[in-house]
Structure 1
């Protein structure tokens, strides 16, 4: 990608915004080196990783990056077998802990949505918990080693405490005994040795070693001879302590050195994850969505917004080309938004091709381009003697040399800066040459000749930025299919210019020009409406397909659960009868044993009668169970015909017969979206009667009437993200059926996680036309107002 294109479209500002969310310098370096990827496969994979990270942020909150640092310097030192500082060791241990926790962070249950790309990245993480624990056990802080780091260090420090206690007792005793010779009745330390502040005139009264003196010379800091041996012992222990600490650090550093490749690999993966989640957090800031990607030059941006303009004032635009036309010529007044539209198209494509979610509505489509060329802005150069026209033409010459069918060209004020007639002719020639190559083009212009060129040339379409004559200001809305209409007469009239002057001006314009302007005005409403209706129909079709797939999946799961429950109940009933029978047989066996013990014929006859009663009861129970099972499955069918609705006990649902009985006594039936072959003997008479159908219709009617009483708001405060998403999804279904136009979703302010998850759902929900945060008096940012389709 050309460096000029990246600079003109302000791509680096996007990267700077993303860097604000990165935790480490290593991740920021990755962002600095980020450029659009060179293959559509890479683009799709990196977009998917950003979408997965965004989904994790919504569902699980922030990733486990607490305490993470850039440890590249420490790893490099370990690879050279150098001893690391406590600070470096602690930071490496924190990095290892973060990488280990990340595996838990992305884990999910079998029935939950997976994170394919992130899971593939995290496969490379190798936990080193033993190394991590050893470092945390031995090092308390960046400046302190734990007493228990080793037995030797523990014993040294214990002796050091004992000696320090002894020397303090001794020095306090010396202070008291020599108080009359001291500047103050206290002791101090010079170079790790305890000394007394002796007045210089009494230096001979306190025998010892002089270590220092005050600035005035009035005080000498003397180490009394009685403390020399104790101080020497303390110094020796301090030296031993330092050596033991150095040994401990060498041992810990050696563990990092031995595992240097694994540690470095874990760190690299963690920097990459930090980079990915920085992109995801930025997507949350701009309400980014995952676009559809193609390499056919098709662009369809729905409510696209320029990411660098304040979200409160930016105007969303629908921008599309690549299907019916490949070139778009935009006309309109200055400061009307033409250049912003150009930059929006270019920058959104650079973002998508860099794996960054784009600021637009769901179902937006971007194309993969090998090169994007931009001739935007005035780069005239005094040093190079280049005028405005020359600087533009120098840039265009380079574009003409390189652009092809896999390129997107953006021209701002094409052909400007020279004679209008020649400039317009040049502009048409440039556009025609690039169009014949198959290059995708978006160009802005003031030349009326280009409007006519777009009208009469196949594959070229007019567009304009709307202008409100009532307010004398642009609306910044892009209107595709309509060339910019001159508003000079209308503006002049509203500003008070006399009508006779306007009429004279009209007489000076050719009839063809006036008719052309009138034609533009008549075409405007019809073309816009037809185009919007077509695109809306396409969007609704996609939403309907998604809704159908979702409910078919829900229906399948429900039917499966119902079938499993029925089978479980039948199996349990059979088991109960079997157990009762076995128990009865055991009882009868015991009765016979009792008979052998000497009962008479009368007793035997009575026992046999009781046995027969039990047997009869069991047989009756089995018959009843069998009869109930047959009743539950329905009446057997003697004949079946194509189109009959019958009941299939195996699936516990009604099916439609779609074939005749074959030689095997089997027919093919339609069960939902499935077609299966079953035996006629397995089919039963359909359970649904006419009365049932009437009753069901009445129930549906009543349900729909009851839906009219759906509340106009739902309160989500206190819920987690998952429960809130489920509640809002069901609530919007109810609202849609009830026919409500506008509802409120109360989520509160809090940390913003709940609001972000709800907004993400609303962007993709098929029943939502638009949504916004509440205004003053509606609940402010704690409430989202939803307009229902």
Structure 2
């Protein structure tokens, strides 16, 4: 990216604002060095990192870095063998503590399952040095002073210094509080030349003996070290020198301990600076109300309500700016002070911000490109030193642009062709735009020349635009209107300011017909645009209201059906509770009847018991399922016809349809039984289900094409029954059944005994046993292969 564009579009004003949000010195340095990138992947990653910072700021208030100094110079001093002072060691200690805190902070984010795109990878590069951090924290305080715990020797020396100081002060107090205090200028103890002294009146300087270390400016007071404390002061001084030597030894030892970790310390500093940079970008975006831009690989720019970031929010006018999809060149026409220059700068500066990984001052889902370079010729660049005219300065700049631009570049040209003869300037402007169109780059050019309005209509991939002007107030609105060329408002403005109508009319007659037609056409287009915009806003409001009504109705519809289902289910549950109690009593009665039958009472028939049980079970109501549409669709598939295999839901067994009795009942063959079954108790059996018995003692009738899971030998002679049994076992094995039922009845017991003997001697039989009492008891045998 050329550096001149950063100055022209005031990009450094953005970085100066951004720098105020950084907490660390290295983070601020990264911002100072910030440059727009021209690599798509790099820009994509930088924006994603800013998004990570924005998410952390939203959830946690930002990354807790605190103030950190640049430790780079400290590490360089260590590399050349120098020892660090206490303040420098405190800076490194603070960095190590921050490293641990940041690592723990991001672990907590991961535990909370906060999704971030790159931040976790960045933090993973940090190197934790807990032992080194503990050593520094124990030895150096926040201000860089060496602590007593740095070494046992230092702690002992400082203890001795404290004792000597107490002894000296105790002796000196005798002078300030005793009878000799009258010789003092004031009763205080002070220090001169690192020794304890008292202020003595000049005429009594010999009263205490000792050494005079200083005197006042007036000469009325001398500062005397009394003879009685000289020895203590000497010993104190020796201890202080020993303390200084021990402190230097500790600093050298700590500096030596850092030597193996210079690379890790430097890397940690860079990583924390990068996190600070991310955090600063997020906070800056929040205060600016900026949003994440969407990168478009085809360089299709679509800025929604874009604002110039350096204009106060209460003054800036948002604009929709788009280029690259349907056109690659915008020609903006209109009068001065209408906002053309600001519009060009807004587009260029937002692009620089996005390509630097920053969020942009525009609405959500705004698109930006990644241009190979951005060029601008904006403002009066007349060079007095080079003795160039305004036109010459612009031409030199444009010539430089033409030499460098490619098909991925963005060119911003303000007042193209201005500063020379209008006819020549317009021709030159058209030729420059044609050349840039041949290159294939993206261009936004502002101009006064009416000839370029026609150019905007005639050239492919080129569109006219203008800045709106309110004739009623004689003020620009600073709104960009793409697709509508600007028109001169000189006649309207003159009339409103009081220009005689005759003069205005005369001026209009002097205007050539072509220009007049063009102005009329622009006026009509502008009127149509305003009408369309009004209609659009009205329709948008109607659509919003209709959508709200639709949402309300849909919500009410859903609430109605949920409430109805809840009421139905509650009623059915209440009914089921009542039926359950009756079922218990009925089951007891039926079991008693069945037991009577097994004991020899033949007055109760099996089909009568089944029918009674069915009526009781039909009282049970199933709750309505929410997926009733699916159930209704499945029910439509259950088209029954004679010969179909069905599952009888009330018995939990399978049978074959014989004929339809009426609209609500079918005659069903279930083993040896023929019964009338309600249609809603029948479920058609799919082909894949026919071979899989649903109950261990289920009965299926033979329908010609398959083997039943039940063989009925009742009423047959013994030999015939044994032959049928042998054939049936073979057929059942071939059919792949796991289990079958042999109905032999009770009678004399001959067939039952024969069946039992046959099953004992057949190696293919795994086990067999009598059926449950409810399924025939010892009148049937269940066989498992």
Q: How does 1:32-431 map to 2 (within 5 A)?
A: 32-106=32-106, 107-109=108-110, 112-142=113-143, 144-173=145-174, 176=178, 187-198=189-200, 206-215=208-217, 219-431=221-433
Task: Kindly indicate whether the alpha-carbon contact (under 8 Å) linking 1:86 and 1:141 is maintained by their aligned counterparts in 2.
Answer: no
CA distance in 2, matches of 1:283, 1:33: 19
Task: Kindly indicate whether the alpha-carbon contact (under 8 Å) linking 1:160 and 1:234 is maintained by their aligned counterparts in 2.
Answer: yes
Quick one: structure 1 residues 640 and 162, their matched pair in 2 at CA, closer, same or farther if it must change by over 3 Å?
same
| Aligned partner of residue 109 in structure 2, secondary structure | coil
CA distance in 1, matches of 2:510, 2:210: 115
CA distance in 1, matches of 2:251, 2:638: 83
Quick one: structure 1 residues 275 and 529, their matched pair in 2 at CA, closer, same or farther if it must change by over 3 Å?
farther
- Number of residue pairs aligned between Structure 1 and Structure 2: 573
Deviation per CA, 1:413-460: give whole Å up to 9, x if none.
111111111111111111111112211010001111100011111111
Q: 1:247: how far off?
A: 2.6
CA distance in 1, matches of 2:313, 2:95: 36
Q: 1:500: how far off?
A: 3.1
Match of 2:460 among 439, 458, 471: 458
| Aligned partner of residue 379 in structure 1, secondary structure | coil
**Alignment correspondent of 1:469:** 471
CA distance in 2, matches of 1:111, 1:475: 49
Q: 1:305: how far off?
A: 0.5
Q: 1:268: how far off?
A: 0.9
**Alignment correspondent of 2:724:** none
Q: 1:33: how far off?
A: 1.4
Match of 2:525 among 523, 526, 534: 523
Question: Over alpha carbons, which structure has the higher Rg?
Answer: 2
Q: 1:192: how far off?
A: 2.7
Deviation per CA, 1:565-613: give whole Å up to 9, x if none.
xxxxxxxxxxxxxxxxxxxxxxxxxxxxxxxxxxxxxxxxxxxxxxxxx
Q: TM-score, normalised by structure 2?
A: 0.66
Task: Kindly indicate whether the alpha-carbon contact (under 8 Å) linking 1:5 and 1:373 is maintained by their aligned counterparts in 2.
Answer: yes
Deviates more, 1:295-304 or 1:634-643: 634-643
CA distance in 2, matches of 1:457, 1:41: 34
Task: Kindly indicate whether the alpha-carbon contact (under 8 Å) linking 1:481 and 1:527 is maintained by their aligned counterparts in 2.
Answer: no
Task: Kindly indicate whether the alpha-carbon contact (under 8 Å) linking 1:68 and 1:95 is maintained by their aligned counterparts in 2.
Answer: yes
**Alignment correspondent of 2:763:** none
Deviation per CA, 1:89-129: give whole Å up to 9, x if none.
22222222222222333342567441121212111112223
Return 5+ residue gaps in structure 1 as ranges.
Answer: 549-619, 645-660, 667-678, 682-789
Q: 1:530: how far off?
A: 7.1
Task: Kindly indicate whether the alpha-carbon contact (under 8 Å) linking 1:44 and 1:293 is maintained by their aligned counterparts in 2.
Answer: yes
Q: TM-score, normalised by structure 1?
A: 0.66
Deviates more, 1:362-371 or 1:244-253: 244-253
Deviates more, 1:390-399 or 1:84-93: 84-93
Q: 1:84: how far off?
A: 2.1
CA distance in 2, matches of 1:192, 1:305: 65
Quick one: structure 1 residues 638 and 253, their matched pair in 2 at CA, closer, same or farther if it must change by over 3 Å?
closer
**Alignment correspondent of 1:14:** 14
Q: How does 1:425-444 map to 2 (within 5 A)?
A: 425-444=427-446
Q: Which runs of 4+ in 1 moved over 6 A?
A: 528-537, 627-644
Deviation per CA, 1:695-742: give whole Å up to 9, x if none.
xxxxxxxxxxxxxxxxxxxxxxxxxxxxxxxxxxxxxxxxxxxxxxxx
Q: 1:385: how far off?
A: 2.6
Task: Kindly indicate whether the alpha-carbon contact (under 8 Å) linking 1:465 and 1:474 is maintained by their aligned counterparts in 2.
Answer: yes
Q: 1:71: how far off?
A: 2.8
| Aligned partner of residue 431 in structure 1, secondary structure | helix
Q: 1:174: how far off?
A: 5.7
Return 5+ residue gaps in structure 2 as ranges.
Answer: 552-612, 640-684, 695-785
| Aligned partner of residue 237 in structure 2, secondary structure | helix
Task: Kindly indicate whether the alpha-carbon contact (under 8 Å) linking 1:149 and 1:248 is maintained by their aligned counterparts in 2.
Answer: yes
Say if 2:5 is the partner of 1:5.
Answer: yes
CA distance in 2, matches of 1:7, 1:637: 71
Task: Kindly indicate whether the alpha-carbon contact (under 8 Å) linking 1:481 and 1:528 is maintained by their aligned counterparts in 2.
Answer: no
CA distance in 1, matches of 2:324, 2:144: 63
| Aligned partner of residue 502 in structure 1, secondary structure | helix
| Aligned partner of residue 441 in structure 1, secondary structure | strand
**Alignment correspondent of 1:573:** none
CA distance in 2, matches of 1:58, 1:193: 58
Quick one: structure 1 residues 33 and 534, their matched pair in 2 at CA, closer, same or farther if it must change by over 3 Å?
farther
Quick one: structure 1 residues 181 and 318, their matched pair in 2 at CA, closer, same or farther if it must change by over 3 Å?
closer
CA distance in 1, matches of 2:531, 2:209: 107
CA distance in 2, matches of 1:469, 1:285: 36
Q: 1:473: how far off?
A: 0.7
CA distance in 2, matches of 1:204, 1:110: 77
| Aligned partner of residue 66 in structure 1, secondary structure | coil
CA distance in 1, matches of 2:495, 2:247: 89
Task: Kindly indicate whether the alpha-carbon contact (under 8 Å) linking 1:125 and 1:265 is maintained by their aligned counterparts in 2.
Answer: yes
CA distance in 2, matches of 1:211, 1:111: 67
CA distance in 1, matches of 2:112, 2:438: 51
**Alignment correspondent of 1:763:** none
Task: Kindly indicate whether the alpha-carbon contact (under 8 Å) linking 1:463 and 1:482 is maintained by their aligned counterparts in 2.
Answer: yes
CA distance in 1, matches of 2:142, 2:102: 24
CA distance in 2, matches of 1:524, 1:430: 28
Q: 1:320: how far off?
A: 0.7
Q: How does 1:655-670 map to 2 (within 5 A)?
A: none
Q: How does 1:477-516 map to 2 (within 5 A)?
A: 477-516=479-518
Task: Kindly indicate whether the alpha-carbon contact (under 8 Å) linking 2:88 and 2:144 is maintained by their aligned counterparts in 1.
Answer: no
Quick one: structure 1 residues 473 and 643, their matched pair in 2 at CA, closer, same or farther if it must change by over 3 Å?
farther
Deviation per CA, 1:61-88: give whole Å up to 9, x if none.
1321224233333333333343222222
Quick one: structure 1 residues 26 and 67, their matched pair in 2 at CA, closer, same or farther if it must change by over 3 Å?
closer
Quick one: structure 1 residues 425 and 150, their matched pair in 2 at CA, closer, same or farther if it must change by over 3 Å?
same
| Aligned partner of residue 118 in structure 2, secondary structure | helix
Task: Kindly indicate whether the alpha-carbon contact (under 8 Å) linking 2:38 and 2:373 is maintained by their aligned counterparts in 1.
Answer: no
Q: 1:267: how far off?
A: 0.9
Quick one: structure 1 residues 528 and 46, their matched pair in 2 at CA, closer, same or farther if it must change by over 3 Å?
farther
CA distance in 2, matches of 1:533, 1:88: 68
Deviation per CA, 1:333-353: give whole Å up to 9, x if none.
110000111111111101100
CA distance in 2, matches of 1:394, 1:429: 16
Task: Kindly indicate whether the alpha-carbon contact (under 8 Å) linking 1:375 and 1:395 is maintained by their aligned counterparts in 2.
Answer: yes
